[in-house]
A = this chain, B = another copy of it.
Amino acid sequence: MARQVTIGIDLGGTKVLGLAVDDEGVVLAELRVPTPGRPSPSASDGGVTDVGGPEPVIDVLAAVTRQLRDTVDTEVASVGVGAPGLVDNTGVLRFAPNLPRGSGLDIAAGLSERLGGLRTVVDNDATCATVAEWAFGAAVGVTDAVMVTLGTGIGGGIVAGGNVVRGASGFAGEIGHMVVDPTGPPCPCGKRGCWERFASGSGLGRLAREAARAGRLSEVVNLAGGDPESVRGEHVTVAATAGDPGALAVLGELGWWLALGLSNLALALDPAVMVYGGGLVGTVSLVHDKVHTAFDELLEGRPYRPEVRILAAQLGERAGAIGAALVARAGDRYRVDVA
C-alpha cells in the first residue's frame, strides 16, 4: 500500500515554505518561494506588486501544492496551511496585518477550489508550529504546553489537557498583544505596552536603541556603523555572541520581559512545558538561564509547584509547515491526536 502524503505550507509575510510530509512525519520534499504582493517601492498602485489574478497568494499556495505533489509523485490526502493572523474556524484569514491584502482572504475555499476539491485546512501559523513541537519537538509527551514564537512580533499556541486550544472563533493564542505595561511604548495595534514591544525581535531593537542612546552599548553601536538609531536586534545578537557585556545586558532585559509574559501565561494555564521558537530562538538561547531564573522568581507559589520546563524549539523554521500538515492530516481542527 502506498504511503499517504500530506502537504503542509507555512505562509509567511515574506516567504512561503511548503513541505510534503509522510505518515511518519518524514519530510519528502521542500519548496520555498517568495510571498506575492509584498510591498514594493516601485509599484504604482500604492506599494503592492500584483502577480496576476485577484488572489495571488492563493494562486501561489496552489502552485506550491501542485509542484510538491509532482515531486513526490504520490497521492496527496490533504493540504494544510499555517497563516499569519486571525484564522477563523472555516479557514478564512480574518485579520493579517503582516500579509498585504491578506485580511478577509478565504484561503481554505479558494485553495480547495484550485486543487479540484482537495481537502484543505487552514490554521494560525503559531498554532501549527505548536502542534509540530508537541508532536515531534520540544513538547512531546505532555498534556499541557504553551509555545511562543518570537519573530518581529510574538505569536502563540496552547495545548491544554491534551487538546489544542483554538477558542470560540479559532483566534486563541494572540498573546503578543497582551498588555504587560499600560504606560509602556506605543504599539502599532493602538495600545501601549503590549508584550511584543519588549520580548520580540522588534522589541529587542527598541530596547537596544534605548540603551544605545544612553551610551550603554558602544560595541553594538560600532557594529551598527556608529549611529545609535541604526542599531537593530541583529547587532545585539552578534555582539552578545562575542561576549559583549552591554549586549548581554540588553538581552537580559529582553529575557526578563519574556519571563514576565511566560509566567503570566503559566499562572493561567499551568503548562508542564513552555517552548520558545521563531527567528529569535538562537538569540534568546544566549540568555536562557536568565529567562528561567526570572521566570521562577515571577511565578507566584513557585515553591509549591513542580518545575515548569522552559525549552528552545527543536524544529526550526520548518515547524509551521510540519504542523500545518499535521493539522490537515488529523482531519479535525479541534482535536489533533499525536503520538
Closest residue to A303 on the B side, CB-wise? Answer: B95
Instruction: Report the bound CA distance from A139 to B158 in whole Å.
Output: 22
Q: Is the CB of A171 within 8 A of B86?
A: no
Q: Which residue of the partner chain, among B179, B191, B334, contacts A180 with CB atoms under 8 Å? A: B179
Q: Which residue of the partner chain, among B86, B144, B301, contacts A301 with CB atoms under 8 Å? A: B86
In the complex, whether A167 has a CB less than 8 A from a CB of chain B is yes
Residues from chain B with a CB closer than 8 A to the CB of A301 are 86, 94-95, 171, 174, 189
Q: Is the CB of B94 within 8 A of A169?
A: no
Q: Which residue of the partner chain, among B103, B160, B180, B190, contacts A160 with CB atoms under 8 Å? A: B160
Q: How far is the CB of A335 from chain B (nearest CB, A)?
A: 8
Stoichiometry (number of copies): 2
Within A154-182, the residues touching B (CB, 8 Å) are 156, 158, 160-161, 163-175, 177-182
Residues from chain B with a CB closer than 8 A to the CB of A46 are none
Instruction: Report the bound CA distance from A178 to B165 in whole Å.
Output: 20
Interface size class of A (residues with CB under 8 A): 35 or more
Q: Is the CB of A268 within 8 A of B268?
A: yes
Q: How far is the CB of A165 from chain B (nearest CB, A)?
A: 5
Instruction: Report the bound CA distance from A300 to B173 in whole Å.
Output: 12
In the complex, whether A8 has a CB less than 8 A from a CB of chain B is no
Q: How far is the CB of A89 from chain B (nearest CB, A)?
A: 10
Q: Is the CB of A264 within 8 A of B178?
A: yes
Residues from chain B with a CB closer than 8 A to the CB of A335 are 161
The 0/1 profile, CB within 8 Å of B marked 1, for residues 115-128 of chain A is 00000000000000
In the complex, whether A238 has a CB less than 8 A from a CB of chain B is no
Interface residues of A (CB under 8 A from B): 86, 94-95, 103, 142-144, 156, 158, 160-161, 163-175, 177-183, 189-191, 194, 260, 263-265, 267-272, 298, 300-301, 303-306, 334-335
A-B contact pairs, 5 of them (CB 8 A): A144-B167, A158-B268, A169-B306, A175-B267, A179-B260
